[in-house]
Amino acid sequence: MGRSPQSSQGGNTVLRNWTISGLDALLFDLDGVLVNSVAAIEECMRRWATERGLDGDRVVALAHGRRDADLVRLVAPRLDVDTEVARIAELDFEVMDTLTAVTGAADLLGTLPPSSWAIVTSGTPPIARARLAAVGLPEPSLVITAADVAHGKPDPEGYLLAAEKLGVPPERCAVFEDAPVGLGAATAAGMRCVGVGVGMAVSSPALDAWVDDLGSVRAEAGRSGITLAGSWATVPVGMT
């Protein structure tokens, strides 16, 4: 029950292997973890910011991992939240055809029993379903969205609700996240966390493991639960 890092070196890179055991459920953030949507979301947010006369860089920086309603309250407290969330959703649908699945996502999800995984996203139900459909990924039986919680990430409410509905103790859940606010939510929930993508590499001391994408991740079920294994390549200092 825990994390077992190992290293092997070849050429100018070091391959770091890891395992996390003693799990009963895997909880996935959606954007940036299962779906390559970060560029599309950034385009959407910049368009919305321009329409409302807001600082696009600030909006993009604060949008990652947050519910649209929380973002509006943060960057434009004088605007009507429902109206702005509806407009952001319209812009989201306009860029839906630019999305792709994260490498390895389909293969990993295809190996998991339906009752062992869920999605916890800051998006709305229509946006979550549309993004999964756009990239051809399966929709799990449990999807926790912005509509299901009173408090968005970094509050742990979404992850704790998913664990409760799956009937799994938080300490036997592993979260896949690509945003610091998501890592904060997973940590506050008492769950282990695998960082996905370069945006999470700087947070690696707080992570149980890290991967560039899901291509190296494997899940194997046994008597003691699910064991995750994966790896990432790094270039040692002075060898660039």
- The per-residue pLDDT for range 6-21, each reduced to its tens digit, is 555 555 667 889 999 9
For residue 74, what are its two tokens? 């943060």
Query: pTM for this structure?
Result: 0.84
Asked if pLDDT for residue 49 goes beyond 50, the answer is yes
Secondary structure (3-state) at 194:
strand
Pairs from 196-202 (Cβ < 8 Å, separation ≥ 24) = 196/29, 196/32, 196/33, 196/102, 197/32, 197/33, 199/32, 199/64
Q: Among this protein's residues, is 29 annotated catalytic? A: yes
Asked if pLDDT for residue 5 goes beyond 80, the answer is no
Mean pLDDT of 49-64: 94
Q: Which of 24, 29, 68, 178 is catalytic?
A: 29
- The per-residue pLDDT for range 83-119, each reduced to its tens digit, is 999 999 999 999 899 999 999 999 999 999 999 999 9
pLDDT score recorded for residue 240 = 38
Q: Which of 24, 31, 68, 178 is catalytic?
A: 31
Within 112-215, strands assigned E span 117-120, 143-144, 173-177, 192-196, 209-211
Cβ atoms < 10 Å from Cβ of 51: 11
- What is the Cα gyration radius of the chain? 18
Residues 7 and 195 sit within 8 Å (Cβ to Cβ): no
pLDDT score recorded for residue 238 = 43
pLDDT above 70: percentage of residues in the chain: 90
Alpha-carbon gap, residue 68 to 80, rounded angstroms: 12
Secondary structure (3-state) at 223:
coil
Higher pLDDT, residue 145 or 235: 145
